[in-house]
Structure formats: C-alpha cells, structure tokens
Amino acid sequence: MNTSQSDSNQGSFGGRDASGISLKSPKEALKPKDAPPPPKRSNRARHGFIVVMNFLMSCIVFVVLVLSGIVLWGKSEFEKPGPLQSDQTVLIKEGSSLDTIANQLADNGVIDGPWIFQNGVKAYRAQRQMKAGEYLFHPAMSMKDVMETIRSGKGILYKVSVPEGLTVAQVFDRLAKSEILEGDLPAEHPPEGSIMPDTYPFQRGTSRKEMLERMIAAQEKVVEEVWQRRVDGLPVQTKQEFVTLASIVEKETGVARERPHVASVFINRLRQGIRLQSDPTIIYGLFGGEGKPKDRPIYKSDIEKPTPYNTYVIPALPPGPIANPGRAALEAVANPSITDDLYFVADGTGGHVFAKTLEEHNQNVARWRAIEKQRQAEAEKKAQESADVGNSESSGSNAETTGAQ
C-alpha cells in the first residue's frame, strides 16, 4: 500500500516530492514571476540638506562645463587667423594700457575684438610685457601672434648712418634732419671726436638725445678697447691725443688698406719732431666743424695762416680731434705699419704714393701735379665741346624758325 501511494505522488504535477521540493507543471514553470517592489528611499536620502547639496553639485558641474566651453572657444578665437588683409603698421605709445592697445589694434583692423585679445593676453600673463613701439603686422596674423610681436618689442627699425670723418656739427645736422627721431638736441655740442661713426638702428619714438648718447657711449667703448691693445712706444700719451691723431688719419685717406701706412708716416714725423703738415688740419682751423665750402680751394695764404689746428704751423698734434674717427682709423694708429716713410701725396687713383725722402716726395708731387694739369685740360676741352654743340643746336633751331616764317 505504501508503494502504491509513493508511485501515485511521483506521477502527479504541482505537488511535492518526498524531499519536500515543490514540483511545478511546465506551464507554471514558464510563467514569469512578478518583479520585486523597488526599495524604499532611506530617511537619509530624503533629508533636505542632501537634496540641496546634490543640486549645488549639479550646478557646479554645469558651470564648469559652460566655462570650459567658453575657454576652448576663446582659445580657438585667439589662435585663429585674423582679419587683416594687408600689412598694417601700428604705433603703440609709451605707457599705453592693455585696453588702449586692444582698441587701437581693433580700430586698425588687426584683430576682431578687443575683449578676446585682452583676456587672451591676461591668460598668458603678458599684460605687463607689452612694449611700446611701431609694429608691422602681416595679413591673417592671429591674436596670439600679434601679442607675441608686441611682447617681443621687435618693432619696425629705422636707421641713421654716421660716416667716418664727419664732425660733431655735421652729425648734429643729420640727427636734426631725421623725420623719425623725436625731441631736440642738446644746446651745446659734445667734444669733437666723441661720436662713433656707424649705422644705428632705432624704433620710432627714440629721441635725438637718446641717439646722441648711444653714439657717445659707443665711441667711449671702442676707444677704450682699441687703446688697451695699442703697441708700445707710440708718441701719443693720452686717449685724447690718440683720438686726435686717428681723426687726422681718417681725414687724409678713405682707402682702408692705406690707413695703417698713413698712420706710420705721422707717427714717424712725431718721433722725429717734424711737423705733420696735414691739409685737413688747415681746413678745420679755418672753418671748424662746419667744414670748408666745396667750391673754396685752399690758398697758399691758408697754409701759412696760424691757427691752433694748422699742423703746417704748430710743431705737434692739434689741441683736439678734427673729426670723428671710425674704428679702422683708431686701429691704424694703435697698430700702424712699420715703415721709414715721412711723406705721401695723391697718386691719381684715389690712393697715395709714399716716400722716405724729400727728393722722392718732390718727384711724386710733380707727377701728381702733371696728372692734375692733364685732367684740368681734359675737363676744359669737354666743356668747350659741350658749349660748341649747344651753340650749333641753337643756330639750327633759329634757321628753322626763320625758314618757317
């Protein structure tokens, strides 16, 4: 009987087996179960403080995202090509604020918007590094490139040239005529020979006084440098005498290779107590720093006229320089050629011929005067031929007019 009951239980569905496990029919097993209910919110989650903090955190995240977007957009605008279509110069004056610079750039079409430029400069912490000057901006320059240009201070460079051998008065005249330099020159001239001949770059806004100070400082530096390298035994005792002799060498020849040779002649004369007899010293003694008029020759009476600078009269160096010597002339005096020559005269080719004795020198002078005489004759012949051609053309014109009548 127990066996029958057991078989009966095993054959039925939905009941329990002997181990107590619930048995289900296939239909009941495939039937979906109900989802469990959601968990209840804790009292802590429902607390008001937590709600507020969650809201604030959400706001902060939102603001950060917005600001990040603005920063990325601003960076893109700051670095993208600018609106400029052609080269444009802008003069930024000393003491200009960042706001002034930004508006000035915008007004000249260099940038699109002052606000982005100002904030971009601040982001790079460059607002105090913007330098005054005149700047050249090229087409499509980005705001960043514009900032870097002004930040570098590399503006448009102008130049003023001072050739070797000019006097201080002539240098002052050049500086006064510059249309770029600003301000007045000092009322008094610095000493003759105190300016270094050179080409000086400068930016708009530079004053004439600043430029003059640069030239004087450059001369002091070069003179000291060359003076320290001079050979022993020179017959010049001070830097003043050194510059004076260099100025005479400078005025005597414009041929670079000749300067040490010319210097040796004057040094030999000083050692032997012979007068220098330099024509440029006659001119400076008569006309000073203004220079001799081009059409004014040197007369015999000029040679004999006593002045503090006339080395045909005085036995040694003049009291000071007669011009501003360049580095090459200073180097020539500091390290002259080693010769026995005491004389030189023009050779007709732009240079000079040198001699040890007066006899040789007189022969060289005779040759030079013959060359001068020949050149003068050729010039007179050309002038006469030009005059004859002019008269012939004038006569032909008159004859044609008469025939027409």
* pLDDT value of residue 372: 84
Sign of the dihedral defined by the CA atoms of residues 169, 173, 176, 179, in that order? negative
* pLDDT value of residue 32: 65
**pLDDT above 90 as % of the chain:** 62
Residue 294, classified by CB atoms within 10 Å of its CB into exposed (0-12), middle (13-18) or buried (19+), is: exposed
Q: What is the distance between the alpha carbons of residues 332 and 250, in angstroms, rounded to a whole number? A: 10
* pLDDT value of residue 135: 94
* pLDDT value of residue 375: 85
Residues in Cβ contact with 323 at an 8 Å cutoff, skipping those fewer than 6 apart: 165, 166, 167, 192, 193, 247, 250, 251, 280, 284
Number of Cβ within a 10 Å radius of residue 342: 19
Is the predicted pLDDT of residue 165 greater than 80, yes or no?
A: yes
Beta strand 199-203 with 157-161: parallel, antiparallel or unpaired?
A: antiparallel
Q: Mean per-residue pLDDT for 56-71? A: 75
Closest CA to 251 of 193, 303, 177: 193
* pLDDT value of residue 382: 83
Is the predicted pLDDT of residue 395 greater than 60, yes or no?
A: no
Secondary structure E strands in 129-220: 133-137, 157-161, 199-203
Secondary structure E strands in 143-214: 157-161, 199-203
Is the predicted pLDDT of residue 405 greater than 60, yes or no?
A: no
Phi–psi pair at 160, nearest 5 degrees = -125, 130
Reported as a pLDDT band with limits 50, 70 and 90, residue 376 is: confident
Q: What is the distance between the alpha carbons of residues 248 and 165, in angstroms, rounded to a whole number? A: 9
* pLDDT value of residue 289: 92
Q: Which residues pair with 354 in a beta bridge?
A: 344
pTM higher than 0.85: no
Is the predicted pLDDT of residue 10 greater than 50, yes or no?
A: no
Is the predicted pLDDT of residue 118 greater than 50, yes or no?
A: yes
The DSSP code sequence of 99-140 is HHHHHHHHHTTS-S-HHHHHHHHHHTT-TT----EEEEE-TT
* pLDDT value of residue 391: 59
Reported as a pLDDT band with limits 50, 70 and 90, residue 19 is: low
Reported as a pLDDT band with limits 50, 70 and 90, residue 397 is: very low
Reported as a pLDDT band with limits 50, 70 and 90, residue 26 is: low
How large is the greatest C-alpha to C-alpha distance in the chain, in angstroms? Answer: 172
Is the predicted pLDDT of residue 321 greater than 90, yes or no?
A: yes
Is the predicted pLDDT of residue 2 greater than 50, yes or no?
A: no
Is the predicted pLDDT of residue 294 greater than 90, yes or no?
A: no
* pLDDT value of residue 9: 45
159 or 61, which is more confident: 159
| pLDDT tens, position by position, 69-104 | 666 766 888 889 999 999 999 999 888 999 999 999
The mean predicted confidence, pLDDT, of the chain is 86
Q: Mean per-residue pLDDT for 106-123? A: 92
* pLDDT value of residue 384: 79
| pLDDT tens, position by position, 183-240 | 999 999 999 999 999 999 999 889 999 999 999 999 999 999 999 999 999 999 999 9
Q: What is the distance between the alpha carbons of residues 91 and 110, in angstroms, rounded to a whole number? A: 12
Q: Give all domains of the chain, ordered by start, each with its CATH number.
A: 88-152 (3.30.1490.480), 157-224 (no CATH), 233-338 (no CATH), 340-385 (3.30.160.60)
Query: What is the distance, to the nearest Å, from the Cα of residue 276 to the centroid of all Cα atoms in its chain?
Result: 41
* pLDDT value of residue 386: 73
> Encoding tokens for residue 146?
């514009």
Choose from 6-15, 64-73, 249-258 the range with maximum mean pLDDT.
249-258
Is the predicted pLDDT of residue 401 greater than 70, yes or no?
A: no
Q: Mean per-residue pLDDT for 332-340? A: 97
* pLDDT value of residue 380: 82
Return the axis-axis angle of helices 168-177 and 208-227, rounded to nearest 10°: 140
Q: Mean per-residue pLDDT for 312-332? A: 96
Q: What is the distance between the alpha carbons of residues 121 and 332, in angstroms, rounded to a whole number? A: 53
